[in-house]
Chains A and B, each alone.
Chain A
Amino acid sequence: MNIGGRRLHVSLLTKNKRWVLILGGLACVPLIIDNPYYLKTFTIFFVYSIFAMSWDLIGGYLGIVSFGHALFFGVAAYTTAILNVKLNWPPLLGFPFSIACSVLISLVVARPTIRLKGHYLALVTFAFPIITTNILYAFPNFFGADLGIPGLSPLSSSRTRDFYIVYSFVWVIFFLLRRMIHSDTGLILRAIQSNEVAAMNCGIDTASIKLKMFVLSGMLAGAAGFLYAHVIKIASPANLELHMSVEALVMCIIGGAGTLSGAILGAVVVTIVNELLRVIEQYRVLGYYVLVLIIVLFSPKGLTWYVDSAFTLLGKGKRRRSAVIRGEER
């Protein structure tokens, strides 16, 4: 489709009106809030959004349920921590290396496992982070065991700038993925999830597509891990823990799997819940999962479904009003 520059511009504004609104709104956050704690919470929410989108790419669109996505997140965090703290490299220099490491690790995980199906694949993805955590604990002097590697330098000189760096990461990734999902590649992904044999019978190399998507997903999770380590200034074994992997899954399921916007919405909910539950620290995990259960129980299609329906209703109302104005409706 060859759309002229101006038409593309217009369609970007009208089609993505909702997103332009949300984007613009979030960009104003540092102007309104100057409490560093809240600013950091927003930044962490962005990092979670990237992490959730990375899971959604394979979990939501391909049906490859990964229980070990924290592995790629954690590996990138540790890579940049080692480079930054032990070798004094600046974050910008550490970035390509942590991405490369998470890509490498996702290749190692994906190559033998991608042909597995369903439960088997989930189990294997579950095992890899456990192995890696054990490796971390085996070299306490280097990886710092329970404490991890603290003392990373921040991304930039100010919190506000950090905010905007992570913010731009989210939207670049979001719009690139969205573009891909709405293209023929997206059609192939949905086809593979729907019926892999049918896709194969159309001459599509499904194994290679799944592998590529898995690696892309690992790479994005790595980007999230890199940012996270620099935002909270520590890389710790908690980054690789099951809870972290489950968090990605929970965010996508709460928001609605297979809808990128759902991943972001889920990240909002999880971040808010995590923050609110700090008041009852010892019951936090319990409260967290009870909330997840309630949300899943009442919105099995995810929260985006409600948002979408609300917008559709609003849109219908608007269309009817304008039809009345044009005198089309009796």
Chain B
Amino acid sequence: MRSLEGKNDNSVILRTSGLTKQFGGLVAISGVELGVVRGTVTGIIGPNGSGKTTLFNTITGYVRPTKGKVFFDGEDITGLRPHEIVSRGIVRTFQVPQCCRELTVRENIRLACLRCYHARTIESKIDEFVRLTGLEGYYDSRAGNLPIGYLRLLEIAMAVATQPKIILLDEPFSGLTDVECQKTSELIKELSNTATLVLIDHKLKHLMPLVQTVTVLNQGTVFFQGKPADVSCSPDVQRIYIGGEIG
């Protein structure tokens, strides 16, 4: 929270306080304090099992936290159901893209548009989101037939279609080739103009240029918070990430 000191409360769009989740004896996250500043891109990194995805799951209502609270726009949203959280303006994507495989690209995006757009504007909105994500050639392909890269784009298109204020992207680069990562990076840059973003990813090469703040999780707790440049220099982060200092 150090980096947030001095800013007034209104600039923090999403805040967790003492967020803890235990699965039986396993503490997935414990006492996580996270503040996401409106209009920024925040990166969350950390070794496998450090609780990054659990953090997303507890924020978005897929998992109920054992302790702690989640505040969005000053409102307590702890324990709301996923669809209620989406309607508040928080949407997420998943490590394994969650689209309806039996439906076409158009139908998938239409599904995401249903809540926010009127029947008259919905078709033009679908076009808009398809163009945004570059899925023009795949309008009527079934989502189940798309390669992983396009499936991720479709999931992002669906997320944007719910008119979110903040988008949580869980490993948007995983499974993509370098060229695809490049394209996704550009898309994320474009998204950051309209929404606040939080990114989880292991591909630091692609993540770091996008973010303004980085939070490092380790064993379920916030290990480090700061600017991307500081993270790369921090010997502690290097130790937990690679098991030793570089050089």
Contacts and interface: CB of A to CB of B under 8 A. Distances in A.
Interface in B88-114: 91-92, 94, 98-103, 107-108, 110-112, 114
Contacts of B162: 201-203
Interface stretch (A131-139, A192-200, A310-318): A192-200
B102 A198 contact: no
A6 to B, nearest CB: 22
Contacts of A193: 102
A200 B82 CA distance: 6
B114 A198 contact: no
A212 to B, nearest CB: 14
B82 A187 contact: no
Interface in A188-229: 188, 190-191, 193-195, 197-207
A207 B62 CA distance: 14
A200 B83 contact: yes
A188 B111 contact: yes
A191 B103 contact: yes
Interface residues of B, number: 29
B115 interface: yes
Contacts of B94: 197, 201
Contact of B103 (A194, A203, A205): A194
Nearest to B60: A201
Nearest to B144: A194
Contacts of A207: 81
Interface bracket on A: 20 to 34
Contacts of A203: 83, 86-87, 91, 112, 115-116, 162
Contact of B83 (A187, A190, A194, A205): A205
Contacts of A198: 98-100, 108, 111, 158
30 contacts: A184-B110, A187-B103, A187-B111, A187-B114, A188-B111, A190-B100, A190-B103, A190-B107, A191-B107, A194-B102, A194-B103, A195-B98, A195-B101, A198-B108, A199-B100, A200-B81, A200-B86, A201-B94, A202-B111, A202-B115, A202-B158, A202-B161, A202-B162, A203-B86, A203-B112, A204-B83, A204-B111, A204-B114, A205-B81, A207-B81
Given A197-B62, A200-B82, A202-B158, 7 more contacts: A1-B119, A191-B111, A195-B98, A195-B99, A198-B98, A200-B81, A201-B162
Interface of B: 62, 81-84, 86-87, 91-92, 94, 98-103, 107-108, 110-112, 114-116, 119, 158-159, 161-162
